[in-house]
Amino acid sequence: MVSNGFIMKKRSRNSIKEHIERLTQIGIALSSTKDVNEFFTLILSEAISYTNADAGTLYLTSSDKKSLEFQVIYNGTMHIPMKVIDKSYGWKPVNLYVEEEKNLKNMVSYVYHTKSPMMIEDVYFQDLFDSSGTKAYDAANGYRSKSMLAIPMKNHEDAVLGVIQLINAMDDDGKVIAFDAQGSSHLMSLTSQAGILLTNRQLIDGLETLLQDFLRSIAKAIEHDSKYTSGHISRVARLTEMLADTMNNDDEYYPDVHFTEDELKEISMAGWMHDIGKITTPPHIRDKSKKLETIIDRITIVKARHQAIKLGLKLKHTRGELDDVSYLAELKKLNDAMAFIQTSNAGGEFITPEAKARLEEIHKNRYQFDDETISLIDENELRNLQIPKGTLLPEEREKIQEHAKVTWEMLSSITFPAKYHNVPLFAASHHEQLSGKGYPFGLKNSQIPLKARIIAVADIFEALSAKDRPYRAQSTLSQALRIMTFFVKDYSIDKDIFFLFLDSGLYMEYARKFMDPEQIDDVNIDAVKAACQPGK
């Protein structure tokens, strides 16, 4: 007997109550299940247990909506436990169309197209569907498929997300019987509940993915735009994730820290977002690698001036305005000054008070050619060359530091999902220092969230170990770790996070992934840790 749909029997008040209770329970279980495979396994288990079926399959509609793919299977008699079928099984999906026509000869495909449940008392004795495949399978496996029930899994828009097929309902003695309408009705309630939950989840996941992809693409754009710090944000994000994972499994420094999956995602997202404010930092400041650099390195202008002065001196000599001795002395003085400027222009050069005075003197030295007075370096170039450490003028440093505040402003204007609402704070606090001397908020000690401190350690270590910074010589692993000890000692970064980084061996794991082999030298961890003690 073939029965399309089912007839609602008049059920007792008690069974309806039980039915609702069971649905409520399964609804709660389904909505709290994070893993999507667990979700489907739970649905099939409930379907099998409620109908006392011997076997069952949960199919999912393929993304191109052309087939139904195996997702979860179970067969009691054949001792096949409930298991998820992934692509590695190579099982052929059920085609929903045959030569562009709806495939109505297959039971699950039929249910997909009609969007209604279908029951069969004995699959061998019906002519609606092609049972040759079932018979062949049974013959090969010593099984006898008899009663069948297939239910569509629909969402609120009536789209079929998948189909559940159950085989051989059994009575209490294990005898195969027909499925009944009550089971079918229960399963329809179950599958529609599951369909809606699944769609909601897909929508939420979709929005989360969209948000993450969008923010990451901005981070990538900033990286792309920066000629020297490409990869900085991705590497910091990766190291942040690695540190958070390590902290989660650590019993020594952080025995009480147990980040949830959502928290780990939140930390990762904050890592990706930490420098998003750099989008407003002018590239010539962000990438200023020489003291004289603006849009171009102005050393080229100084060099041109040097050549012009040289020609002027030569002309004066030819005209007899300068004698041989004075000409050679002037030439030497000029060349020495040029060489000194070139050395001073390097980002790593520390400008001593003596060097500062010498540059001042070079600037004051004027050359007179006809009606033109010329100096090797002008006022602005002098000021830049006199930058004592690094390449940045105070106002440029301020502009760069502004990025943390901009990160905060940009991210706090986005409505993050509630579970990620702290992403703006964690991301924007990566330049805060335990001493309170950091920025943009000037937070101190425990005011700085642990998740922001993780990013701070990752950010500094990446900057010290990166191979592409133009303003300093490339550090080896041991040198980078040694410099980190100064940050610990002056109370900038969290010592425990740094020690965890060392003791867990994460520093080496990171180095092997992201540093050049020639940067990786021997590291004495005990010595690095000892150097973190005050007074060392």
Contact positions vs Fe ion (CB under 5 A): 275, 459
User: Smaller CB distance to Fe ion: residue 330 or 459?
Assistant: 459
Type of residue found at 144: R
* Separation of alpha carbons 138 and 167, rounded Å: 12
| Smallest separation, CB 476 to Fe ion (Å) | 21
Q: Looking at beta carbons only, is 275 or 293 nearer to Fe ion? A: 275
**E-assigned strand segments in 276-365:** none
Per-position DSSP letters for 472-520, written without gaps between them: SPPPPHHHHHHHHHHHHHTT-S-HHHHHHHHHTSHHHHHHHHHS-GGG-
- Cβ closest to Fe ion, residue 316 vs residue 403: 403
Q: Which is nearer to Fe ion, 194 or 273 (CB)?
A: 273
Q: Which residues share a beta bridge with 167?
A: 55, 148
CB 422 within 8 Å of CB 441: no
- For residue 331, count other CB atoms closer than 10 A to its CB: 16
3-state secondary structure 35-51: CHHHHHHHHHHHHHHHH
Nearest CB to Fe ion, comparing residues 111 and 233: 233
Q: Which is nearer to Fe ion, 40 or 272 (CB)?
A: 272
The tokens of 167 are what?
């085989």
**201 versus 397: smaller Cβ distance to Fe ion:** 397
CB of 431 to Fe ion, least distance (A): 6
Q: How far is the CB of 215 from Fe ion (least distance, A)?
A: 15
Give the Cα separation of 204 and 211 in Å (integer).
Answer: 11
Q: How far is the CB of 497 from Fe ion (least distance, A)?
A: 16
Per-residue tokens: 334:
């000029």
In angstroms and rounded to an integer, the radius of gyration of the C-alpha atoms of the chain is: 36
**Minimum CB distance to Fe ion, residue 376 (Å):** 36
CB of 456 to Fe ion, least distance (A): 9
**Minimum separation from the CB atom of position 441 to Fe ion (A):** 14
Q: How many CB atoms lie within 10 A of CB 487?
A: 21
CB of 206 to Fe ion, least distance (A): 29
Which is closer to Fe ion, CB of 119 or CB of 406? 406
String of DSSP letters for 146-175: --EEEEEEE-TT--EEEEEEEEEEE-TTS-
Alpha carbons 456 and 434: distance in angstroms, whole number: 11
**Min. distance of Cβ 340 from Fe ion in angstroms?**
34
As measured in angstroms, the least distance from the Cβ of 406 to Fe ion is: 10
Least Å from the CB of residue 429 to Fe ion:
10
**Please, which residue, 275 or 494, has the CB nearer to Fe ion?**
275
What's the rounded Cα separation, in Å, for the pair 186 and 198? 18
d(CA 254, CA 244): 11
HEC per residue, 419-462: HHCCHHHHHHCCCCCCCCCCCCCCCCHHHCCHHHHHHHHHHHHH
Type of residue numbered 443: L
For residues 53 and 76, give the distance between their C-alpha atoms in angstroms, rounded to a whole number. 9
CB nearer to Fe ion: pick between 407 and 476: 407
Q: Which long-range contacts (CB under 8 A, 24 or more apart) does 103-111 make?
A: 105/129, 105/130, 106/130, 107/148, 107/150, 107/165, 108/57, 108/59, 108/68, 108/150, 108/163, 108/165, 109/68, 110/150, 111/150, 111/151, 111/152, 111/163
Residue 459 or residue 494: which is nearer to Fe ion going by CB?
A: 459
